[in-house]
Structure 1
Amino acid sequence: MALSRRGFPLQWVMVTVIVGITLLLSAILITRAYIDQRDLLLEAAESSSEHLAGRLDSANLSLLAPVQNSIQLLVHDTLLEARSLEQRLERLPLLVQVLQSNPVTSAIYAGYPDKDFVLLRQLKSDRVRQLLNAPEQAMWMVQSVDHIDTDRVERYWLFFDSKMALVERREVPDYSFDPTLRPWYEEAQGKSEPVLTSPYLFFTTREVGVTLSRQSASGGVVGIDASVEEISRELAALKPKGAHRLVVVDPTGTVVAWPDLNAMLIQQGKDVRLANLGELGVPALEKMRAVSKLDGRMVQFNEGEEQWFGLRQPLLAMQGASLELLMAVPASELLAGIRDRRQAYVYWALSITLLALFIGAAMAYRLTRPLDRLSSWVRELARFDFSRSGIKPSGVREVNQLNEVLGGMANAIRHFQAISHTLAREQQLERMLPGVAEHLKASIEAEESSIYLLDPETSTLTLASGREESTRLPRTVKGDSNNSKMLGAQLEKALPDGQGHWLVTPLKGREIEPAGFMVLRITDTDPKAQQALANFVDELSGSAATAIETRQLIEAQKRLLDAIVHLLADAIDAKSPHTSGHCERVPELAQMMVDEACKSSDGEFERFQMSEEQRYEFHLAAWLHDCGKITTPEYVLDKSVKLDALYNRIHEVRTRFEVLWRDAEIRYLKGLLAQENEAGLHERLLQEQASLQADFERVARLNLGAESVTDEDLADVHRIAQRTWERNFDKRLGLAEIELERMPSEGELPVTEPLLSDRPEHLVSWNGRRPPVEADNPDNVWGFDMKLPQHQQNLGEIYNLTQRYGTLTPEERFSINNHIVQTIRMLTSLPLPRQLRRMPEIAGNHHERVDGQGYPRRLHAGELSIPERIMALADVFEALTAADRPYKKAKTLSESLRILAFMARDGHLDRAVFKLFLESEVYLEYARRYLPEEQIDTVDRRQLWLLAKGEG
């Protein structure tokens, strides 16, 4: 098919466009070159001035910062309380230390409300020493004005050597100095913070500087002089070479810093003042300040017959008066370099234009229309669209080659995306590694791809991925060590021979030992290509190794966490032989119910599912549901009789009965000795002994707690308690300090005591350990809502024996219930990851009731998730069927389920969970695993469900 002749050839179109654009760009560049270079120079000058201003600001701050710290200390010194020169000289060591620690300071002084004045000056320069006519060995000078009385004023200059020994005491009657009239004194009045003066000439040394002063509580003012001649020196050091003019002035035009220090000081008779800008003899600076703004921008102006550039740059404010940096430079000097290079720019631009014309013509001749399609495809690749595999073949070989390369690159990227996705998302190594191997094989067009994992304990490599039909590769390779080079050589030696080349790459991640090896069989025999591929695979192997190590580390941490959790649960079970196995059996039963709930499509279980992370979270919560029991006293957990408190106190009570028994026999024998009626004595003895036997049997029966206590039982206990016996030994002897704190003081012995009693020492207070479980407790951040007993323990004998049901007192029942509070507090204190955040709720809510009457938070059904309701039922069922509880006998399967049915009816347990428990026969599977045969009896599921619904 003939090609269309319409239009213009692409090569000529491209040549024309390139020529036109190149010529246009050349003209623009040549035109703009001079202007751009000029602007760059001006911007550089502005930036340089800004940097210079910053350096000067830093110099100012370096002068003031240490001085301010010193004056904050001096204002509280006794110097300002001194009333005579002798008292003030006692503070010289401190003042010397301050001056020596601040090199920029020249003097420290204090002015007093009565016009007294004292100043310490360090004689640093020869100029100052000559000005003051100081002795040769003098290093320090004290200036003093001391008003002795209204008519007598002493004015002295005292000179000291380097060791502060007095060299000369000079009286200076003409030293008329009134500190109260000085700016540093006046400005400090009524101020609570240090005050900084504007730069000025010092009274005595005629140096340029500033004064930092502050008023003390006594009314005196302390001041420190700091010379700012450093600014002029810094300005002279920073001044560029050439005809640049730099000066620092205040808003009135007074010169604060000038490279020539002598030129900025004007002598007027005996006085010296700072020069103004016009007195420097540089008209360009004065003209520039008049035409420019204080914004740091470069301006152009004429002075005389010469053109100048200049700018005004603001500096840091000093006590409200801003300083300015002025800079002026002749245009001939600033732009000299640009004019020399302008002609060179023109020649270079013309040369580049001609070169671009030839390159454009050559490219236009070689390219054809398929470039558009390639360009479109490349744009798709740039937009991360790798779906297209290539374009139609072209008559241009280079285009076809590019098409093949781009196709291979797109294919490789697709597989690399799949590898990245697999490494990032897949959690299981057995599924991740085969996917990585297959995608890597496809991306580099290898013949075979496999991954071996290393067992560092045995130095054994195990094939972890590879095509199932491939039986040529060895499944395991035993190495001599974990060294990657030795292992790689042994693995390569074990691989079968055949066509192609085996590429064995160690999977090196963060660990010293390799995680394994990546094995590829390639057919490309080009050494350079093989080396390039080896380098690429080596880089890719790092990501794979890190992913493998990460998953192995996660699995190891998971196993460690499981082991710790199981260890804690086993420790809790081992704490009491009567609850052994509870923390192990409840997770098993709860997990069986969760599995059934996930399978069920009935009612509220229709959409209930749990991910692997949620199952693991539930698994840990089930194992830790009673971890708080580790804080519960053992004697409470194991309490089988009412008087049990670490031991069964029925023995103490029996001993008292024995004492009364002996007392009865003694009275009988004494009656015989007194020749009383033997028959009557014997009859009375038998009656007393029979009464004691009956009363003790009544107390012993109540101590068992096997049946509820009647009102008659209560009356009998109080009657028996009225019996008395005589104690002859001090009950405070042999007691620990903590027992003595509760034990009241002892009276004279012997003491008559009741047979049974509730004594003050039986009450154990919370003693600052009151748990935050009440709803109105501000420390209760967990939402607990429990009633707290008044005392931590009540060991009263009557109190314990008269408990209506069971063996536990309210205090002991709270102690047991408190285990769930401790469980929640312990688990919420852990830094749990996001996927385990619900673990405290699942573990801690298994004593809640769907009617809101449970503990510790009184949650209702709508606030309890399905896993939490399952945990509640599993915990109750295991407790009912357990055969190792001291306070009850193990119940049969039917009895336990009947109790569960009533609990579901009464709003204790969730009715839907109980129904699932019945219909799935999880109870039967659990019973066959954990219950003895005599507990497994026939169960009527229909009748139980009717009971649960309240219809049975």
Structure 2
Amino acid sequence: MRELHPEQVAQRLDQLTELSVALGHGHDIATLLERIVTTAKNLTGADGGTLYRPSADRQSLDFHISINDSLGIHKGGVIGVPAVPLFDAAGQPNLASVAAYAAHSGRAVNIADVYRAGDFNFSAMRAFDRHYGYHSQSFLTVPMSDHEGGLIGVLQLINAKDPASGAICAFSPTDQRFIEALAAQAAVAITNQQLILQLEQLLEALVKLINIGIDEKSPHTGRHCQLVPQLTMMLAEAVHQCDSGPLAAFRMSEGDRKELWLAGLLHDCGKITTPVHVVDKASKLETIYDRIGLIDTRFEVLMRDAEIAALRQKLASPDGHAQIELRLAGQLAALAADRDFLRPANVGGEGMPAAEQERVRRIAHYRWVGPDGAERDFLDADELANLTIRFGTLTEAERQIINNHIAVTVRMLEALPWPRHLRNVAEYAGGHHERMDGKGYPRGLRKEQMSVPARLMAIADIFEALTAPDRPYKKGKLLSESLRILGNFSLNGHIDPDLFDIFIRAKVYLAFAGRHMDPRQIDAVDEARIPGYFP
């Protein structure tokens, strides 16, 4: 058995310290695990080392890393190597395998010569030796456990070498103590990384849970919440790849990407508080139902009353029936025309002309008798206000309710204790309704007050909304029309023209259209005719 000089002990302590520092700064578990095996080999002068990790169902130990200097083996996730079962066919702990025994007992196993040891089954090791022409002799097997005693892995070293002669020898008690210390440090580092990963997965799952809640209220909004982050990342990658122009310096790390993706998923989380009848208002008169049916009924009442009046006139005057019929036909035709006019007016659109708004006001002053026998205006104040909406289907009050979702989003996100690497989520998500000219909401920020991610999310949000085919209040626009509208937005201070240039030049719009747009919406696009874009 080897005896260590004080200088060798000091060297080992230095290596252990270096590993501790590396484990504290590492974020990639695969890299950490390889560093652990390599350092363990160097500390003990072992010829080989293997790291086992418990399987997903924790029924076996899987080979994760295997290194052997003499055989020139350096493999990660060894394919084809059988796993070590942790339990036998009867469900009892497998104590025949040294790795499984160490996993179950939580104790290190130090064997000087495996060919003379009768406590464990080394048939797999002997098969390995025969296959490779190798001779396994000394083994040091050390379990790795987390702070709750849960199994993290098993580290196994093979064939310690005497530094002077190179002869294979047993692992010393000092070797074992060093590797046990290393395994404890490594378990802490791996556990920390797993906890971080689990917290990130939990956070993303909670975000998806919020979006499920939104989707249940409004499937149209739910789809939007899934597609905006995808388009946001597509545009962000295009900007990242850009090497010229005003945005050439923009670069993203993997951490930046995670932060932006999360912000994209959360950009409309405030809509969970928005009433469904406002979010999904498909027509101007819709509340819980579309009130155009009530208007149709009133027209039927007016037509009925006109016919009754005509019949009474005929009874009162034996002559002039032809004129009465003619006058009645004119009244009925006028009422039918007004009814047929209000139906499409109720749908909403890009802009209602002033003449049509005035016609609605004229119709509103018709008089009719309701079920209670009282005479009243044909349209009440709320119906008149809705039917004269110039753009879309929302009144100004309803638009304020919709707009409030972003203020709620900001309040929700700013109330969360974000870790440092996610500190910008609220800013990115809360800025997608701001405008470059300061006329947006909720804070009226200008371009120079906004980050690049917040500005590019605004483009993704608008483009997805324009092309979405599932909105109850509009049809999905053609690709060319959507780009024309977006281009005009780049000219009038609504969106960032530099980002819009990359959106077109890198053909982000086309990649998104191919993945997510209805093929019937994807028409030919002449980029030279897109407003605000200069090929």
> Shorter-chain TM-score category?
0.7 to 0.9
Kept in 2: contact 1:850–1:910 (CA 8 A):
yes
Q: Which residue of 1 aligns with 2:441?
A: 855
- For 1:540, which of 173, 182, 190 is the aligned residue? 182
In structure 2, how many angstroms separate the alpha carbons of the residues matched to 1:686 and 1:929?
Answer: 55
Kept in 2: contact 1:573–1:582 (CA 8 A):
no
Kept in 2: contact 1:621–1:843 (CA 8 A):
yes
In structure 2, how many angstroms separate the alpha carbons of the residues matched to 1:594 and 1:874?
Answer: 10
Q: Which residue of 1 aligns with 2:244?
A: 602
Q: Which residue of 2 aligns with 1:470?
A: 73
1:858 CA drift (Å): 0.9
1:484 CA drift (Å): 9.0
Kept in 2: contact 1:852–1:859 (CA 8 A):
yes
Q: Secondary structure of the residue that 1:843 maps to in structure 2? A: helix
TM-score (norm 1): 0.49
User: How do residues 272-283 of structure 1 correspond to structure 2 at under 5 angstroms?
Assistant: none
Offset from partner CA, 1:613-666 (integer Å, 9 cap, x none): 221111100111111112222222222221111211111111112122222222
1:496 aligns with 2:496: no
Q: Which residue of 2 aligns with 1:720?
A: 363
1:948 aligns with 2:532: yes
Q: Which residue of 2 aligns with 1:447?
A: 47
TM-score (norm 2): 0.84
In structure 2, how many angstroms separate the alpha carbons of the residues matched to 1:942 and 1:672?
Answer: 69
- For 2:147, which of 492, 510, 533 is the aligned residue? 510
Distance 1:488 1:633, change over 3 A: farther
In structure 2, how many angstroms separate the alpha carbons of the residues matched to 1:710 and 1:920?
Answer: 38
Distance 1:875 1:484, change over 3 A: farther
Q: Which residue of 1 aligns with 2:115?
A: none
Distance 1:674 1:892, change over 3 A: closer
User: How do residues 509-908 of structure 1 correspond to structure 2 at under 5 angstroms?
Assistant: 509-523=146-160, 530-674=172-316, 676-677=318-319, 678-706=321-349, 708-729=351-372, 750-758=373-381, 796-908=382-494
Gaps of 5+ in 1: 1-400, 730-749, 759-795
Distance 1:720 1:892, change over 3 A: closer
Distance 1:694 1:932, change over 3 A: closer
Q: Secondary structure of the residue that 2:139 maps to in structure 1? A: strand
Q: Which residue of 2 aligns with 1:284?
A: none
Q: Secondary structure of the residue that 1:709 maps to in structure 2? A: coil
User: How do residues 254-293 of structure 1 correspond to structure 2 at under 5 angstroms?
Assistant: none
In structure 2, how many angstroms separate the alpha carbons of the residues matched to 1:707 and 1:636?
Answer: 18
Task: Tell me: higher relative CO, structure 1 or 2? Use CA pairs within 8 A at least 6 residues apart.
Answer: 2
Letter in 1 for 2:425: M
Kept in 2: contact 1:429–1:551 (CA 8 A):
yes
User: How do residues 324-343 of structure 1 correspond to structure 2 at under 5 angstroms?
Assistant: none
Gaps of 5+ in 2: 102-119, 127-134, 163-167
Distance 1:715 1:878, change over 3 A: closer
Offset from partner CA, 1:842-901 (integer Å, 9 cap, x none): 011011111111111111111111111111111111122222223333222222222222
1:485 CA drift (Å): 6.0
1:471 CA drift (Å): 7.7
1:463 CA drift (Å): 2.0
In structure 2, how many angstroms separate the alpha carbons of the residues matched to 1:948 and 1:854?
Answer: 20
Q: Which residue of 2 aligns with 1:325?
A: none
Structure 1, 550-559 or 872-881: larger mean CA deviation: 550-559
Distance 1:929 1:810, change over 3 A: same
1:475 CA drift (Å): 5.6
Q: Secondary structure of the residue that 2:18 maps to in structure 1? A: helix
Distance 1:935 1:573, change over 3 A: same
In structure 2, how many angstroms separate the alpha carbons of the residues matched to 1:527 and 1:884?
Answer: 73
In structure 2, how many angstroms separate the alpha carbons of the residues matched to 1:686 and 1:939?
Answer: 50
1:532 CA drift (Å): 3.9
1:518 CA drift (Å): 0.9
Q: Which residue of 1 aligns with 2:111?
A: none
Kept in 2: contact 1:579–1:884 (CA 8 A):
no
Kept in 2: contact 1:573–1:579 (CA 8 A):
yes
Distance 1:835 1:496, change over 3 A: same
Kept in 2: contact 1:841–1:868 (CA 8 A):
yes
Kept in 2: contact 1:449–1:466 (CA 8 A):
yes
Q: How many residues align?
A: 491
In structure 2, how many angstroms separate the alpha carbons of the residues matched to 1:937 and 1:622?
Answer: 28
**Identity across the alignment (%):** 37
Q: Secondary structure of the residue that 1:515 maps to in structure 2? A: strand
Q: Which residue of 2 aligns with 1:161?
A: none
In structure 2, how many angstroms separate the alpha carbons of the residues matched to 1:487 and 1:872?
Answer: 59
Offset from partner CA, 1:469-506 (integer Å, 9 cap, x none): 43898463222169696774547745524343111111
More helix by share: 2
Q: Which residue of 2 aligns with 1:920?
A: 506
Kept in 1: contact 2:218–2:276 (CA 8 A):
yes
Kept in 2: contact 1:503–1:520 (CA 8 A):
yes
In structure 2, how many angstroms separate the alpha carbons of the residues matched to 1:448 and 1:630?
Answer: 57
Letter in 1 for 2:359: D
In structure 1, how many angstroms separate the alpha carbons of the residues matched to 2:475 and 2:253?
Answer: 39
Kept in 1: contact 2:159–2:169 (CA 8 A):
no
In structure 2, how many angstroms separate the alpha carbons of the residues matched to 1:686 and 1:486?
Answer: 101
Distance 1:410 1:549, change over 3 A: same
Mark the structure with the bigger radius of gyration: 1
Letter in 2 for 1:496: M
Offset from partner CA, 1:388-408 (integer Å, 9 cap, x none): xxxxxxxxxxxxx99x82431
Kept in 2: contact 1:507–1:541 (CA 8 A):
yes
In structure 1, how many angstroms separate the alpha carbons of the residues matched to 2:324 and 2:443?
Answer: 64
In structure 1, how many angstroms separate the alpha carbons of the residues matched to 2:267 and 2:402?
Answer: 14
Kept in 1: contact 2:211–2:222 (CA 8 A):
no
Distance 1:718 1:924, change over 3 A: closer
Q: Secondary structure of the residue that 1:512 maps to in structure 2? A: coil
- For 2:5, which of 388, 392, 405 is the aligned residue? 405
Q: Secondary structure of the residue that 1:521 maps to in structure 2? A: strand
Q: Secondary structure of the residue that 1:901 maps to in structure 2? A: helix
In structure 2, how many angstroms separate the alpha carbons of the residues matched to 1:711 and 1:915?
Answer: 36
- For 1:457, which of 38, 54, 57 is the aligned residue? 57
In structure 1, how many angstroms separate the alpha carbons of the residues matched to 2:284 and 2:246?
Answer: 44
Q: Secondary structure of the residue that 1:948 maps to in structure 2? A: coil
Offset from partner CA, 1:86-128 (integer Å, 9 cap, x none): xxxxxxxxxxxxxxxxxxxxxxxxxxxxxxxxxxxxxxxxxxx
Letter in 1 for 2:83: T
1:517 CA drift (Å): 0.4
Kept in 2: contact 1:453–1:463 (CA 8 A):
yes
Kept in 1: contact 2:301–2:368 (CA 8 A):
yes
Aligned-pair RMSD on alpha carbons? 2.9
